[in-house]
Amino acid sequence: MRTVSRTDGLHDAIVIGAGSGGMTVAVGLARLGRRVALVEAARVGGDCTNVGCIPSKRLIHLSRDPAWRADPAGVLAEVRATRDGLAAREDREMAAMEGIDLIRGRASLAPGKRVVVERPGGAHEITAPHVVIATGSRPRVLEIPGLPPERVLTNETLFELERAPRHLAIVGAGPLGVEMACAFARIGTRVTVVEVAPRVLPAADPEASAALQAGLAEQGIGIRLETRAVGYVPERPGLRVEGRAGAELLDGVDAVLLAIGRVPNVEGLDGAVDAGPDGVLVDGWGRTSAPGVWAVGDVTPLAHQTHAANALGRRIVQAIALPWIPRLGGPPVIPTAVFSDPEVAWVGPPAAERAARCHPGALVDLRVELADTDRGLTDDVRRGFVAVSAVRLTGRVVAATVVGPHASELLPLLTFSVSRHVSLLRLQRMVHAYPTLAGAIGSVTDEFARRTLPHLGSEIIAYGRYRWARAPSGRRARTTWLQ
Amino acid sequence: MRTVSRTDGLHDAIVIGAGSGGMTVAVGLARLGRRVALVEAARVGGDCTNVGCIPSKRLIHLSRDPAWRADPAGVLAEVRATRDGLAAREDREMAAMEGIDLIRGRASLAPGKRVVVERPGGAHEITAPHVVIATGSRPRVLEIPGLPPERVLTNETLFELERAPRHLAIVGAGPLGVEMACAFARIGTRVTVVEVAPRVLPAADPEASAALQAGLAEQGIGIRLETRAVGYVPERPGLRVEGRAGAELLDGVDAVLLAIGRVPNVEGLDGAVDAGPDGVLVDGWGRTSAPGVWAVGDVTPLAHQTHAANALGRRIVQAIALPWIPRLGGPPVIPTAVFSDPEVAWVGPPAAERAARCHPGALVDLRVELADTDRGLTDDVRRGFVAVSAVRLTGRVVAATVVGPHASELLPLLTFSVSRHVSLLRLQRMVHAYPTLAGAIGSVTDEFARRTLPHLGSEIIAYGRYRWARAPSGRRARTTWLQ
């Protein structure tokens, strides 16, 4: 029987995992005077710092710079240098932070909020009133017959490449897939994207997928939709795919990036909390099925994005350290940003969900092309738009999508509007600086006013008729959506 | 005695000047079914299209493109081509628009809302219930002894240059001066900026001026503050300046751009309305001293920006065509954007006005450096910040400044907040996509919460003590500012 030493009562909370979600909770609690044990088996900073946002955004930025672009190996080395510098800084900060005990080891959770940390020197059990599971996720993998392991990449190995592949096949056209497609294409790699769905970025609205797909094609990126990777022929080399267009050999593929989603790291939880196939089940405040046990970040089924982890982490800090503050409001509204070319950003329920939940007569869709704006003219913006879905008559913003240059930076006013139920008629009264792309948001509000104000009578009738009508799915409109 | 033909009763409104403000009013009224006479002596589109925003932003955009930058003459030709294309389109649109009679001629206004239009064929008098003065402004000029006229540039002649100057002296470091300094420096012109004030962009907050000045210096742009241009030596050639650093000859200056402000075009108004040195006096709805006579755009003392003209123009449309809608709210909150490098954008009263109107204890200033954000790290953003001035305790946003890449696109959420009196505590509850520069707005809200929530007692006392206290100027705080 192995020896387990024990420590009780030293900590107010144990946080398992020092990624974005875990660090948000640990730092937030420590700043409010709580004593936190932060357990990390691998690198502080988690996926975001080490194998996610930071290296990918650094690569995207450098690949846009003509001076860097000519030296792909130099770009990849600089990506690692930036990443390593930030990781070292975060490690130092966590190790030195007042109120946080950084424990390097692999933790498992047993019922009764008992956390066992395996370290080279043996196992150690610690307990605390609160345990926060922030163990993250790992890339989903796919067996491709004939594909040797050294040619398989995931986000965990991609940024270790010392040379850019000659022909990179990317399986999966989600955010990671399309971002890396654009970045590698810019540094001279031939790129082919293989996606089982009928469009790129299947989670975005179809019009965003269409605009992005046109942009990818213009950059010379191959796209195979409704297609699967079915085998690899090392002697060519080449990747065999099958799909809509029949069977095909993607010639010269020397690396395959798997970007087909994530698997939550629920091992080591030992049934201490309820979990489904998408991870540990939580409510909008991070509570799991076990009292005093919380979960945050990619280990939950919520949006797998750093800012989603931060948002839930902040709620957990409030719930643990400031429990007297009422926990009002629904789940936070989480925007999505994809740093492809063109950039794509959106907020609010996707088109399919809107269609399923609302009668088509209850919402109005508005769209302004960036190419039709004056800033689009001066800046050669040929592709992109601001699209808003709003409740008829009241103008309440339900969802919005922006495609185009720095779309993610144009989104916050729309995110606020979706979060706070702001009406387009209210937004219309603010003034946008000219000439900006954000001015297209103003044009959307003008278009709404033009469609609504001269026809108030019929709009009131339509509102009364469709606002509470059944959606085609047969479900009643969710009242939290519409007002 | 000259012949004057007359037309009465054909039009609901006469708009004098087809620039941004005039077109906004004419199009707005025409869309609401009114018949408008739009009189223009020069080119449709006014300054913005022909000699302002459009050519300047096109030049700024092209000068950033390494492929264009190598061919300065080609850049200048392309700027004109873009400008001419848009001007022709706007001219066609105005000439063809249902409800608008585009009259080409020079208008003057006599008491009694009588408008006389001088045309090659003779003078013609028209009258209407409403007359809108949108005659714009022209560049303020400065006599520099010895400077031959062919070496003097203003915004009206700058974009006619066929070759870039070798050494361009820019007199005036306002928005036009600093934008053109950056653009011409990028296409290889040596640039020196001469400004009488002690800082560049004197209308911005001092911290924005400091950041911009450092950026200009880094681009090799010469800056002479508290300095005047006093003479030109054609035989060198060179521009003599005198100021803080004594007298100096700016060697090799072959062109001088005057960017020292605007003079309103009030000639031809003949005392029909009250006007001051800064133009026709108007209230927040564009009303002049004469009933039924309105004024909009640069001819008024209000902000000389296209979006300010549009905003007031829209109000005039509402006041004329939809007079039953109550005219609520104060003057519109007008943001400012300067497309220099770094970009500078701000909204709300400037620092000096805040200091004059509020006790220093009533406001809190917050600032987050873009270089300290994760997106700043990945994108090499070394300079720039988001700064917010808010009411203590309540967090109401009073003013904000953004400096850095696409600062103007980051401003709308802050413009909305200033316009609608949104609190930083409310903004804190929304989620920003990661990693974006706009996320710095989220960091500002966090900083406010950290400074406020743990010290609620003392913040409440400070609020009670300073909220109604006299400002150092002796004036009481304006209650419309603070809540």
Q: Are B411 and A439 within 8 A, CB to CB? A: no
**pLDDT of A206 over the 70 cut:** yes
**H or E element in which residue B101 lies:** strand B100-104
Q: Are B61 and A378 within 8 A, CB to CB? A: yes
Taking the CA of residue B92 and the nearest CA in chain A, the distance in Å comes to: 16
Taking the CA of residue A42 and the nearest CA in chain B, the distance in Å comes to: 21
Taking the CA of residue B246 and the nearest CA in chain A, the distance in Å comes to: 39
Tell me the chain A residues in contact with residue B406 when contact means C-beta distances shorter than 8 Å. 406, 409
Q: Of A147, A111, A113, A117, give the one whose Cα is nearest residue A18.
A: A117
Note every long-range contact of A348-354, with CB atoms under 8 Å and residues 24 or more positions apart, other chains counting.
Answer: A348/A389, A348/A397, A348/A398, A348/A399, A348/A400, A348/A418, A349/A398, A349/A399, A349/A481, A350/A203, A350/A204, A350/A205, A350/A399, A351/A205, A351/A206, A351/A389, A351/A399, A354/A389, A354/A398, A354/A399
Alpha carbons B420 and B426: distance in angstroms, whole number: 12
Tell me the chain A residues in contact with residue B33 when contact means C-beta distances shorter than 8 Å. none
Interface test with B, best of A432, A443, A450, A451 (most B CBs within 10 A): A432
Q: Are B335 and A432 within 8 A, CB to CB? A: yes
State the average pLDDT over residues A433-456: 95
pLDDT score recorded for residue A481: 42
Q: Are A66 and B61 within 8 A, CB to CB? A: no
Q: Are A57 and B379 within 8 A, CB to CB? A: yes
Q: Are B375 and A31 within 8 A, CB to CB? A: no
Residue B139, φ and ψ in degrees, nearest 5: -65, 140
Q: Which pLDDT band, with edges at 50, 70 and 90, does A472 fall under?
A: low
Tell me the chain B residues in contact with residue A333 when contact means C-beta distances shorter than 8 Å. 430-431
Cα angle A317-A320-A321, degrees, rounded to a multiple of 5: 75
Helix axis angle for A53-63 and A72-96, nearest 10°, is 150
CA distances from B312 to A328, A436, B24, B47, B325 (A): 40, 18, 9, 17, 16
Taking the CA of residue A76 and the nearest CA in chain B, the distance in Å comes to: 13
Q: How many DSSP H helices and E strands does chain B contain?
A: 16, 26
pLDDT score recorded for residue B9: 79
Interface test with A, best of B34, B409, B427 (most A CBs within 10 A): B409
The 8-class DSSP code of residue B187 comes to T
Q: Are A430 and B415 within 8 A, CB to CB? A: yes
pLDDT score recorded for residue A1: 43
State the average pLDDT over residues A380-397: 97
Q: Which pLDDT band, with edges at 50, 70 and 90, does A38 fall under?
A: very high
Residue A390 near residue A398 (C-beta atoms within 8 A): yes
pLDDT score recorded for residue A475: 57
Q: Are A430 and B419 within 8 A, CB to CB? A: yes
Within 8 A by CB and 6+ apart from B340, the residues are B175, B178, B179, B181, B182, B212, B215, B216
Interface test with A, best of B47, B378, B382, B421 (most A CBs within 10 A): B378
Residue A141 near residue A23 (C-beta atoms within 8 A): no
The residue that leads in pLDDT, A52 or A9, is: A52
DSSP letter string over A209-264? HHHHHHHHHHTT-EEE-SEEEEEEETTTTEEEEEETTEEEEEET--EEEE-S-EEE
Q: How many DSSP H helices and E strands does chain A contain?
A: 16, 26
**pLDDT of A480 over the 50 cut:** no
Task: Count chain A–chain B contacts defined by CB atoms under 8 A.
Answer: 165
The 8-class DSSP code of residue B126 comes to E
Tell me the chain A residues in contact with residue B334 when contact means C-beta distances shorter than 8 Å. 431
All domains of chain B in start order, with CATH = 4-138+262-321 (3.50.50.60), 149-258 (3.50.50.60), 342-466 (3.30.390.30)
Nearest to B61 among A334, A379, A438 (CB): A379
Taking the CA of residue A329 and the nearest CA in chain B, the distance in Å comes to: 10
Q: Are B432 and A415 within 8 A, CB to CB? A: yes
Mean pLDDT over each residue of chain A, to the nearest integer = 94
Q: Are B66 and A66 within 8 A, CB to CB? A: yes
Taking the CA of residue A171 and the nearest CA in chain B, the distance in Å comes to: 24
Q: Are A431 and B374 within 8 A, CB to CB? A: no
Taking the CA of residue A167 and the nearest CA in chain B, the distance in Å comes to: 26
The model's pLDDT over A219-236, given as tens digits with 9 standing for 90+, comes to 999 999 999 999 999 999
Residue A349 near residue A472 (C-beta atoms within 8 A): no
The model's pLDDT over B55-87, given as tens digits with 9 standing for 90+, comes to 999 999 999 999 999 999 999 999 999 999 999
Q: Are B335 and A61 within 8 A, CB to CB? A: no
Tell me the chain A residues in contact with residue B436 when contact means C-beta distances shorter than 8 Å. 337, 408-409
The strand pairing partners of A243, in sequence order, are: A227, A246
pLDDT score recorded for residue B478: 47
Q: Are B54 and A378 within 8 A, CB to CB? A: yes
Closest A-chain CA to B434: A307
Tell me the chain B residues in contact with residue A377 when contact means C-beta distances shorter than 8 Å. 54, 58, 82, 86
Taking the CA of residue A230 and the nearest CA in chain B, the distance in Å comes to: 35
Parallel/antiparallel/unpaired status of strands B222-224 and B190-194: parallel
Q: Are B413 and A412 within 8 A, CB to CB? A: yes
Nearest to B332 among A308, A420, A431 (CB): A431
Q: Are B57 and A406 within 8 A, CB to CB? A: no
Within 8 A by CB and 6+ apart from B294, the residues are B25, B130, B131, B132, B133, B282, B286, B287, B288, B316, B319, B320
Q: Which pLDDT band, with edges at 50, 70 and 90, does A37 fall under?
A: very high
Closest A-chain CA to B28: A450
Alpha carbons A299 and A291: distance in angstroms, whole number: 18
Within 8 A by CB and 6+ apart from B401, the residues are B204, B205, B207, B208, B344, B345, B346, B385, B386, B387
pLDDT score recorded for residue B481: 42
Q: Are A409 and B336 within 8 A, CB to CB? A: no
Q: Of A281, A254, A5, give the one whose Cα is nearest residue A150.
A: A254
DSSP letter string over A288-346? -SSTTEEE-GGGSSS--SHHHHHHHHHHHHHHHH-TTS---SSSPP--EEE-SSSEEEE
The model's pLDDT over B145-172, given as tens digits with 9 standing for 90+, comes to 999 999 999 999 999 999 999 999 999 9
The model's pLDDT over A151-186, given as tens digits with 9 standing for 90+, comes to 999 999 999 999 999 999 999 999 999 999 999 999
Q: ipTM more than 0.85? A: yes
CA distances from A306 to A21, A53, A335, B431, B433 (A): 7, 8, 11, 11, 8
Q: Are B434 and A305 within 8 A, CB to CB? A: yes
**Most distant CA pair in chain B: distance in Å?**
80
Residue A437, φ and ψ in degrees, nearest 5: -70, -35
Closest A-chain CA to B313: A431
Alpha carbons B308 and B20: distance in angstroms, whole number: 9
Taking the CA of residue A369 and the nearest CA in chain B, the distance in Å comes to: 16
Q: Give residue A215's identity as a one-letter amino acid code.
A: G
Closest A-chain CA to B438: A409
Tell me the chain B residues in contact with residue A415 when contact means C-beta distances shorter than 8 Å. 430-433
Taking the CA of residue A83 and the nearest CA in chain B, the distance in Å comes to: 9
The residue that leads in pLDDT, B113 or A473, is: B113
pLDDT score recorded for residue A211: 98
Tell me the chain A residues in contact with residue B86 when contact means C-beta distances shorter than 8 Å. 374, 377
Q: Are B433 and A377 within 8 A, CB to CB? A: no
Tell me the chain A residues in contact with residue B437 when contact means C-beta distances shorter than 8 Å. 409
pLDDT score recorded for residue A8: 75
Alpha carbons A299 and B214: distance in angstroms, whole number: 45
Can you list the residues of chain B whose pLDDT is less than 50? Answer: 1, 477-483
Dihedral (Cα; B279, B282, B287, B289), 10-degree rounding = -70
